[in-house]
Chain A
């Protein structure tokens, strides 16, 4: 793992993409081939299943380090990462052995299902031999939490440099259902495995900040609702039917109600669309929370299938009769999509996401303002002539979201962040006024600058009223503007409401606690929400 650790250190040690690409390309030229496959797997989110649960790891590590459990937990709170905490707490290795990444991962895979003593013995042996960085990475693999900040585009660029295969070809080959434990590096690069269910890389839109005026004439653009569901790619090829999420996760089995589509779509059809929980009576999507109930489950109970049936609203057609048509203009792809959908029998859970007509940008702005009533988050703008590109390319596709709802609230509790923000207070609980009391109603942890988090951290340290483990209660003094995308009644919360995507928009130093909003003003929004 020494070479892999050196790669990790090189990637971790720079923010420059050029240096990252070079380090990766070097690695893909020189590392043992099985290690290269595992590295591609890890960088594309194909992590081995966790072999050991974190409770066991904590116990074993505290035992080896010779410290009580509470001291382990204090250390973990400061470090913010279990794998790193353990790597730091263990005594340095007496002897070091260099096992390959392939060897290490296969060893971990073999551990699943073994009795606890066998797993413990294997983990302790590895710990006793690995130097600091390798030990940290080994722990990351153990806990199934391996993440290395490498964008997909960067990975394919590095692989292209190392192998001479074109980037776009590689990007497609890396997607889908290949198994790192079985495939060889040459087979992976040549695209020999993965089968017909492989999706295309998703095209992503950029945020439109200043309105559409600078985009030029409205007739060059197509507009549609920006739905708040799961972006997905539906594959219907001979012998293969699959639904992929944007995170490249195969989610076909979560949506059995979509299965009939396999029988009706023409062979060789690939559709990009939004998976939604559909309210048939109202002819619009249910709020995201309904869909969320289904995401977490491997098998979906009948009641939920009836209550929140899935439906795909299709945005785009990527493959037509087995032909990759991503290079053709969007207007043409949409026209073909419409033809295909029109030929389907009625009653299937698939329809085109309607195109929004707009003679002028002002007209579109008016339409956009009604998005919430339609169950949408805003509108999408796509250049009619645009190809289906890979990843995020500024210029052709824009999302123009509604401004978030906002509320002024006061901080009540603070908790230290994790990872990069270890030992900075970044996770806050906020309250609004309810009569003479202040009731907690949401948590938020992003949206401020590092300098602001640093200042707040010092304030929290000086003003702590009480400590509950890693959480500190603070005086209700600091006021923040909280933005959110949606709101729902929630009997599980003391406040009776739950926000969607809450985040801090601003620290309102100009406001005091007497100026915060009330719970009643939030409840009033419940009726406005879909």
Chain B
């Protein structure tokens, strides 16, 4: 039997024909990176290849690295393999990576979302023979409301808080979700940002992504100077001294996990908004069907039931153990709150 296009090793997904890894979690000589979240773009690789749009965030995160950019849709040869990057719709610059060896194409999805969010480059199905798909939300209980409706809910909440003389604080991952929120809500008033969010925002703004003006919270930015404002901060800042400074406050966490009441309550936050940068159940099924692939490997999420489901739908499905979804910035199940 011929060597497969991609194999699964303890360092990550590996292409023998091109001698490179995709999103490896241990140091390797050459790494192709789907996107800038820290469970996918890790430190210590000999050389990095990512989309031109993803590189600034990766450089910002990892510092001095040897890295090269590639345009969406451009094909490059690496050894015996042809590689190209295609929009994944997950966060700005995110890509699915297609690898072709001897006429057989495999696609690594990275993280993806099928609904356009107005900021990240829109997801495009990539025809292939084998598809390695994430399935963070691979259960039918996950069904996202369209983004405009969620934004309207958040806006209503914000305005009610403002009317009650309170600052609204949204907990959201600092790269991706935070910018998606400000892009959707910025027209309704100035938005305050936590330093971690502001740095990522500025990096993306410098690249030309259309982001509204934001105000970084410094000691002289308070509830008095900006009454009724909306602030965006990493989830770890909720309930902290940082948010107390903007008090009185109402806090809410924005994540796909907020769909489950038990998880929402565990965060000890009454309010949660369901907005995810990952595909929901329908999105996963649609995306997989659109590739035309007959073989599917699932990773990152509810892998066992999702594989079983794909099997029952006639796919040749398998599970790949990876270390994606482990990092704080990835959308893994949120840690428990500070207090009961």
List A residues at the B interface (Cβ < 8 Å): 12-15, 65, 67-68, 70-71, 74-75, 78-81, 84-85, 88-89, 92, 136, 418-424, 450-451, 453-454, 467
List residues 294-319 of chain B with CB under 8 A from any CB of chain A: 302, 304-305, 308-309, 312
Q: Which residues of A contact B333 (CB under 8 A)?
A: 423
Q: Which residues of A contact B308 (CB under 8 A)?
A: 70-71
B262 in the interface (beta carbon within 8 A)? yes
Please report the C-alpha to C-alpha distance between residue A346 and residue B335 in the assembled complex, in whole angstroms.
62
A81-B262 in contact given A68-B312, A71-B309 (Cβ < 8 Å): yes
B337 touching A75 by the CB < 8 A rule?
no
A70, A80, A84, A450: residue with the most chain B Cβ atoms closer than 10 Å? A450
B270 touching A13 by the CB < 8 A rule?
yes
Select which of A88, A454, A467 is within 8 A of B143 by beta carbon.
Answer: A88
Please report the C-alpha to C-alpha distance between residue A88 and residue B141 in the assembled complex, in whole angstroms.
5
Which residue of chain A is the closest to B138 with respect to CB atoms? A74
B141, B143, B333: residue with the most chain A Cβ atoms closer than 10 Å? B141
Minimum distance in angstroms from A59 CB to a CB of chain B: 16
Task: Encode B225-264 as 1/0 by CB contact (under 8 A) with A.
Answer: 0000000000000000000000000000000000111110
Additional A-B contact list (13), CB under 8 Å, known A67-B140, A85-B141, A421-B262: A12-B270, A70-B305, A71-B308, A78-B302, A84-B261, A88-B141, A88-B143, A88-B259, A89-B140, A419-B262, A422-B260, A424-B336, A467-B304
B141 touching A78 by the CB < 8 A rule?
yes
B124 in the interface (beta carbon within 8 A)? no
A13, A70, A136: residue with the most chain B Cβ atoms closer than 10 Å? A13
Q: Which residues of A contact B194 (CB under 8 A)?
A: none
B220 in the interface (beta carbon within 8 A)? no
B266 in the interface (beta carbon within 8 A)? yes
A421-B143 in contact given A68-B312, A451-B336 (Cβ < 8 Å): no
Select which of B140, B259, B335, B336 is within 8 A of A71 by beta carbon.
Answer: B140
Please report the C-alpha to C-alpha distance between residue A79 and residue B260 in the assembled complex, in whole angstroms.
6
Which residue of chain B is the closest to A85 with respect to CB atoms? B141
27 A-B pairs with CB atoms under 8 Å apart are: A12-B261, A12-B270, A13-B270, A13-B271, A65-B140, A74-B302, A74-B305, A75-B139, A75-B140, A75-B141, A78-B139, A78-B141, A78-B260, A79-B260, A79-B261, A81-B261, A84-B262, A89-B140, A418-B262, A420-B262, A420-B265, A420-B266, A423-B260, A423-B262, A424-B336, A451-B336, A454-B335
Please report the C-alpha to C-alpha distance between residue A80 and residue B312 in the assembled complex, in whole angstroms.
25
B74 in the interface (beta carbon within 8 A)? no
Please report the C-alpha to C-alpha distance between residue A420 and residue B333 in the assembled complex, in whole angstroms.
14
A453-B336 in contact given A68-B312, A422-B260 (Cβ < 8 Å): yes
| Top 7 A-B residue pairs of the complex, sorted by shortest distance between their CB atoms | A422-B262, A13-B270, A450-B336, A88-B141, A74-B305, A420-B265, A75-B141
Minimum distance in angstroms from A358 CB to a CB of chain B: 37
Minimum distance in angstroms from A18 CB to a CB of chain B: 13
Please report the C-alpha to C-alpha distance between residue A92 and residue B260 in the assembled complex, in whole angstroms.
16
Please report the C-alpha to C-alpha distance between residue A453 and residue B302 in the assembled complex, in whole angstroms.
20
Q: Which residues of A contact B312 (CB under 8 A)?
A: 68
Minimum distance in angstroms from A92 CB to a CB of chain B: 8
A80 touching B305 by the CB < 8 A rule?
no
A74 touching B139 by the CB < 8 A rule?
yes
Interface size class of B (residues with CB under 8 A): 20 to 34
Q: Which residues of B contact A92 (CB under 8 A)?
A: 143
Please report the C-alpha to C-alpha distance between residue A12 and residue B270 in the assembled complex, in whole angstroms.
6
Which residue of chain A is the closest to B268 with respect to CB atoms? A15
B266 touching A424 by the CB < 8 A rule?
yes
Q: Which residues of B contact A424 (CB under 8 A)?
A: 266, 336
Please report the C-alpha to C-alpha distance between residue A422 and residue B336 in the assembled complex, in whole angstroms.
12
Minimum distance in angstroms from B168 CB to a CB of chain A: 14
Minimum distance in angstroms from B303 CB to a CB of chain A: 11
Please report the C-alpha to C-alpha distance between residue A467 and residue B265 in the assembled complex, in whole angstroms.
27
Please report the C-alpha to C-alpha distance between residue A85 and residue B141 in the assembled complex, in whole angstroms.
7
Q: Which residues of A contact B305 (CB under 8 A)?
A: 70-71, 74
List B residues at the A interface (Cβ < 8 Å): 139-143, 259-263, 265-266, 268, 270-271, 302, 304-305, 308-309, 312, 333, 335-337, 340
Q: Which residues of B contact A419 (CB under 8 A)?
A: 261-262, 265
B140, B268, B305: residue with the most chain A Cβ atoms closer than 10 Å? B140
Minimum distance in angstroms from B144 CB to a CB of chain A: 11
Q: Which residues of A contact B140 (CB under 8 A)?
A: 65, 67, 71, 75, 89
Q: Which residues of B contact A81 (CB under 8 A)?
A: 261-262
Q: Which residues of A contact B337 (CB under 8 A)?
A: 450
Minimum distance in angstroms from A312 CB to a CB of chain B: 37
Minimum distance in angstroms from A394 CB to a CB of chain B: 20
Please report the C-alpha to C-alpha distance between residue A68 and residue B305 in the assembled complex, in whole angstroms.
11
Q: Which residues of A contact B261 (CB under 8 A)?
A: 12, 79, 81, 84, 136, 419, 422
Minimum distance in angstroms from A453 CB to a CB of chain B: 7
Minimum distance in angstroms from B272 CB to a CB of chain A: 9
Please report the C-alpha to C-alpha distance between residue A319 and residue B142 in the assembled complex, in whole angstroms.
56
Minimum distance in angstroms from B91 CB to a CB of chain A: 25
B263, B271, B308, B309: residue with the most chain A Cβ atoms closer than 10 Å? B263
Which residue of chain B is the closest to A84 with respect to CB atoms? B261
Please report the C-alpha to C-alpha distance between residue A422 and residue B333 in the assembled complex, in whole angstroms.
11
Minimum distance in angstroms from B36 CB to a CB of chain A: 24
Please report the C-alpha to C-alpha distance between residue A423 and residue B309 in the assembled complex, in whole angstroms.
20
Q: Which residues of A contact B142 (CB under 8 A)?
A: 88
Minimum distance in angstroms from B102 CB to a CB of chain A: 37
Q: Which residues of B contact A75 (CB under 8 A)?
A: 139-141
Please report the C-alpha to C-alpha distance between residue A71 and residue B141 in the assembled complex, in whole angstroms.
10
Select which of B259, B262, B270, B336 is within 8 A of A14 by beta carbon.
Answer: B270
Minimum distance in angstroms from B170 CB to a CB of chain A: 15
Please report the C-alpha to C-alpha distance between residue A396 and residue B143 in the assembled complex, in whole angstroms.
52
Please report the C-alpha to C-alpha distance between residue A502 and residue B336 in the assembled complex, in whole angstroms.
24
Please report the C-alpha to C-alpha distance between residue A313 and residue B340 in the assembled complex, in whole angstroms.
38
Q: Which residues of B contact A12 (CB under 8 A)?
A: 261, 265, 270
Which residue of chain B is the closest to A70 with respect to CB atoms? B308
Q: Which residues of A contact B259 (CB under 8 A)?
A: 88
Please report the C-alpha to C-alpha distance between residue A107 and residue B143 in the assembled complex, in whole angstroms.
29
Please report the C-alpha to C-alpha distance between residue A363 and residue B11 in the assembled complex, in whole angstroms.
68
Q: Which residues of A contact B268 (CB under 8 A)?
A: 15
Which residue of chain A is the closest to B326 with respect to CB atoms? A458
A88, A418, A451, A453: residue with the most chain B Cβ atoms closer than 10 Å? A88
Minimum distance in angstroms from A464 CB to a CB of chain B: 11
Minimum distance in angstroms from B333 CB to a CB of chain A: 7
Minimum distance in angstroms from B334 CB to a CB of chain A: 10
Q: Which residues of B contact A88 (CB under 8 A)?
A: 141-143, 259-260
Please report the C-alpha to C-alpha distance between residue A10 and residue B270 in the assembled complex, in whole angstroms.
9
Which residue of chain A is the closest to B261 with respect to CB atoms? A84
A15 touching B336 by the CB < 8 A rule?
no
Which residue of chain B is the closest to A10 with respect to CB atoms? B270
Which residue of chain A is the closest to B141 with respect to CB atoms? A88
A80 touching B141 by the CB < 8 A rule?
no
A15 touching B262 by the CB < 8 A rule?
no
Which residue of chain B is the closest to A149 with respect to CB atoms? B265
B270 touching A450 by the CB < 8 A rule?
no
Please report the C-alpha to C-alpha distance between residue A119 and residue B234 in the assembled complex, in whole angstroms.
47
Please report the C-alpha to C-alpha distance between residue A136 and residue B261 in the assembled complex, in whole angstroms.
11
Please report the C-alpha to C-alpha distance between residue A12 and residue B269 in the assembled complex, in whole angstroms.
10
Minimum distance in angstroms from B200 CB to a CB of chain A: 26
Minimum distance in angstroms from B62 CB to a CB of chain A: 25
